[in-house]
Amino acid sequence: MENGLNGTIEAGGNAAPDKSDIDAIQNRYRAERDKRLAAANVGQYVSPDGALARYVDDPYVERRFDRAAVAEEVEVAIIGAGFGGLQAAAELIKSGISDFRIIDKAGDFGGVWYWNRYPGASCDIESYIYMPMLEDMGYTPSLKYARGPEIFDYARSIAEKFGLYDKALLQTQVERLNWVEADHRWLISTREGDRIRARFVMVATGVLQSVRLPAIPGIETFRGHSFHTSRWDYGYTGGDPAGKLTGLADKRVGIIGTGATAVQCIPHLGASAGQLYVFQRTPAAVPVRDNRTTDDGWAAALKPGWQHERMNNFDHIINGRPTTVDLVQDGWTEVLGQIGVDLTGINDADERRRVADIAFMNNVRARVDAVVKDPATAEALKPWFNIMCKRPCFHDEYLDTFNRPNVTLVDTNGQGVERISENEIWVGGKAYELDCLIYASGFDFQTPDMAKRNGFDLFGRGGISLTEKWQGGMKTYFGHFNAGFPNLFVQTATQGGLTSNVTHGLGELARHFVHMVTYCHEHGVRSFDATPQAEDMWQEKLRAAAGARRQYDIECTPGYYNNDGNPDADTGLQAFYQGGSVEFFEILEAWRNDGRFEGFELAHG
């Protein structure tokens, strides 16, 4: 066992609540949600532009690569060198296609793991299913939940094994893509002056791809040290991703946000800072993590094909599909698989979900009481919402951090930080003087202006941009294809299938993309373009699948899962496919097996 549990409540054994408890808890959920919806700053974020642009400078690369601009023609271009782009590239190589480029603005492979080097970063999904291609790589993660540096190194080792460094243009910002009809190719232009002509393009820029800062009045006036968690300034804090932030020993540090990122780095800040203020708007749900080192005997006994089987088993459980075994056995499978709570006699699926959810969250709240000594702080740290309103933040040191004498929880009672001055944060009319302010305020979820947020737009047939096409709402075929944008695969989650184990989903999409490219090669297809009818058909399917989740979203506290409390009538169209990831991957598989390239217009030659 790598670390012990704080508190006495263990995973499993959630007592089923009785009817009156359920009603009271749901009333409390509604009241808390309404309080947040009434707050002036809910869903209010600013992009790091203009005076705030420095918040997205790359602190990790000390020098820019000197290279001549590239002018070339390739079969495939992949934009994004995280696990989405890496898996697509590896699948291309495995299929014998080596004529491609992979482009990323970061200084290395790794995507989110390149950027997110904050202390305590680790995967929140079991590493044996989160770290893709373990069997290809012959690699065994050191922990059940591997830490950031190991995952980042692993991403780079995939790039090395598949010879991707030779194909990479790093520190390269794509500026635009133009479809050139006469050529049946995309022309990619970059800030570095590259001009790359590619037959097929995969945009693999991630689901949460751009930094967002809270729209707090005065944010630009702060004169102390400040940064976003995805651009951690170790030059200032000292230490490294394992902690020991010695530079903070005499500092008054504030952190805004208590989401999945904050929960992982706050224990290190608490251990190192002279004084830490945690500014909380909505408390996170923090169930047991129970990390542990990998058992070598277990790893050695794994049979070929084990990783896909384990990924699929996890995905089936969290989608509520019947399975006979739970291979992962963690908090995700416990709560989403409705494991550990007695649901005997409850036959209605919605009611089973509701009861299991409340039982799980009762346990989460009881854990706060068991760990946090100050009763008022404990009360303020209790989350009052259904577990999947926000990403659950499994952790074993977070809650205990609030027992430290140098750590203060500043609960904003759902209202958020009021304003920021040159050296202070204001909450409820009270000022907190700070030397350092850290924004754990998250990232933009894919939205119709996603292309611009990436720093580039795509111009399809007739010079229409993807941003223009999506004005008033996204309209895609399977989430990935857009009529008028031939040979383009956008690795979105919006309108596509999302699983909590994001890298698994990216692998499915990588295989699907490579299947399509291979098909085109084998059948003499120069280009494919989704038809407007196929888009319409997919919108209908999205609408039909949206029903159940929509009700869940309406009841939820605001967050990026429910469009910050605005699950409008078209929620199904701006969210992921609500039939679930398993069903979505089955739809893609059926499409491949069908072999007719249905929903696309093909140009041969």
- Binding residue for ligand NDP (CB under 6 A) from 416, 497, 565, 579? 416
Q: How far is CA 31 from CA 36, 38, 384, 414, in A?
A: 9, 11, 9, 11
Site stretch for ligand NDP (CB under 6 A), options 2-10, 410-418, 458-466, 476-484: 410-418
Q: Is 396 in the site for ligand NDP (CB under 6 A)?
A: no
Least Å from the CB of residue 6 to ligand NDP = 19
Q: How far is the CB of 454 from ligand NDP (least distance, A)?
A: 17
Quote the DSSP letter at residue 449: T
Q: How far apart (Å, rounded) are the C-alpha atoms in residues 315 and 524?
A: 36
Closer by beta carbon to ligand NDP, 424 or else 468: 424
Q: Which of 260, 335, 520, 534 binds ligand NDP (CB under 6 A)?
A: 260
- Which stretch, 9-17, 119-127, 351-359, 472-480, contacts ligand NDP (CB under 6 A)? 119-127
Q: Does 256 bind ligand NDP (CB under 6 A)?
A: yes
141 lines the binding site for ligand NDP (CB under 6 A):
no
Nearest approach, Cβ of 289 to ligand NDP (angstroms)? 11
Site for ligand NDP in 209-228 (CB under 6 A): 214, 216
Q: Please choose, out of 116-124, 154-162, 349-357, 576-584, the segment that lies near ligand NDP by the rule CB under 6 A.
A: 116-124
User: Does the protein bind ligand NDP through residue 124 (CB under 6 A)?
Assistant: yes
Burial class (CB in 10 A: 0-12, 13-18, 19+), 503: buried
Q: Residue 356, Cα to own-chain centre: how many angstroms?
A: 25
Q: Which C-beta is closer to ligand NDP: that of 46 or that of 343?
A: 46
Contact status, residue 16 vs residue 359, Cβ threshold 8 Å: yes
What residues numbered 421-480 form the site for ligand NDP, per CB under 6 A? Answer: 440-443
Tokens standing for residue 154: 């692993």
Residue range at the interface with ligand NDP (CB under 6 A); choices 14-22, 118-126, 455-463, 512-520: 118-126
Q: Are 355 and 16 in contact (CB under 8 A)?
A: yes
- Is residue 11 within the footprint of ligand NDP (CB under 6 A)? no
DSSP string, 237-273: H-SBTTB--GGGTT-EEEEE--SHHHHHHHHHHHHH-
State the DSSP string of 27-76: HHHHHHHHHHHHSTTTT-EE-S-GGGGGGGS-SS-SSPPP-PPPEEEEEE
Binding mask 558-587 for ligand NDP (x = CB under 6 A): -xx---------------------------
DSSP collapsed to 3 states, 73-96: EEEEEEECCCHHHHHHHHHHHHCC
CB of 32 to ligand NDP, least distance (A): 10
Instruction: Please tell me whether residue 258 binds ligand NDP under the rule CB under 6 A.
Output: yes
Asked if 425 and 214 count as a contact pair (C-beta separation under 8 A), the reply is no
Residue with the two structure tokens 């782009």: 85
Stretch that binds ligand NDP, among 88-96, 255-263, 346-354, 509-517 (CB under 6 A): 255-263
Biggest alpha carbon–alpha carbon distance for the chain: 73
What are phi and psi for residue 555, nearest 5 degrees?
-80, -10
| Candidate residues 225, 251, 268, 281; the one interacting with ligand NDP per rule CB under 6 A | 281
| Count of beta carbons in the 10 Å neighbourhood of residue 192 | 18
Q: How far apart are CA 337 and CA 323, in angstroms?
A: 9
Q: Which stretch binds ligand NDP (CB under 6 A): 246-254, 260-268, 366-374, 590-598?
A: 260-268
- Size of the chain, expressed as the number of residues it contains: 605
330 binds ligand NDP (CB under 6 A): no
# chain residues binding ligand NDP, by CB under 6 A: 28
Determine which residue in the list 167, 316, 365, 391 makes contact with ligand NDP, applying CB under 6 A: 391
Instruction: In angstroms, give the least distance from the CB of 452 to ligand NDP.
Output: 20
* Rounded-to-integer distance, Cα 385 and Cα 283, Å: 10
The CB-of-112 to ligand NDP minimum distance in angstroms stands at 7
If one asks whether residue 261 binds ligand NDP (CB under 6 A), the answer comes out as: yes
Which distant-in-sequence residues (6+ apart) come within 8 Å of 184 by Cβ?
A: 199, 486, 487, 526, 527, 603
Contact call for residues 122 and 547 (beta carbons, < 8 A): no
Q: Measuring CA to CA, which residue among 72, 73, 76, 71 is closest to residue 521? A: 76
Which of 259, 567 has the CB closer to ligand NDP? 259
**Site stretch for ligand NDP (CB under 6 A), options 258-266, 310-318, 461-469, 540-548:** 258-266
Smallest separation, CB 388 to ligand NDP (Å): 11
Could you say which of 241, 257, 270, 507 contacts ligand NDP (CB under 6 A)? Answer: 257
Closest CA to 531 of 586, 596, 602: 602
Contacts with ligand NDP in 23-82 (CB under 6 A)? 41
What minimum distance in Å lies between the beta carbon of 556 and ligand NDP? 11
Q: Considering only residues 259, 486, 507, 565, which one is a binding residue for ligand NDP as defined by CB under 6 A?
A: 259
Window contacting ligand NDP (CB under 6 A); options: 73-81, 152-160, 252-260, 402-410: 252-260
Give the whole-angstrom CA distance, residue 416 versus residue 395: 23
Continuous segment of H or E residues that includes residue 201: strand 195-203
Mask for 161-200, x = binds ligand NDP (CB under 6 A): ----------------------------------------
Helices (H) and strands (E) in the chain, counts: 20, 22
Instruction: Specify the residue, 216 or 317, whose C-beta has the smaller distance to ligand NDP.
Output: 216
Amino acid at 391: R
Q: How far is the CB of 143 from ligand NDP (least distance, A)?
A: 12
Nearer to ligand NDP, 201 or 509 (CB): 509
Separation CA 573–CA 568 (nearest Å): 10
551 Cβ contact partners less than 8 Å away, ≥ 6 residues apart: none
Q: Interface with ligand NDP includes 262 (CB under 6 A)?
A: yes
From CA 43, how far away is CA 228, in angstroms rounded?
Answer: 18
CA–chain centroid gap for 533, Å, is 31
Regarding 282 and contact with ligand NDP (CB under 6 A), the answer is: yes
Least separation in angstroms between residue 36's CB and ligand NDP is: 6
Told to check if 279 binds ligand NDP by CB under 6 A, we report yes
Write out the residues near ligand NDP by the rule CB under 6 A: 41, 122-124, 208, 214, 216, 256-262, 264, 279, 281-282, 391, 412, 416-417, 440-443, 559-560
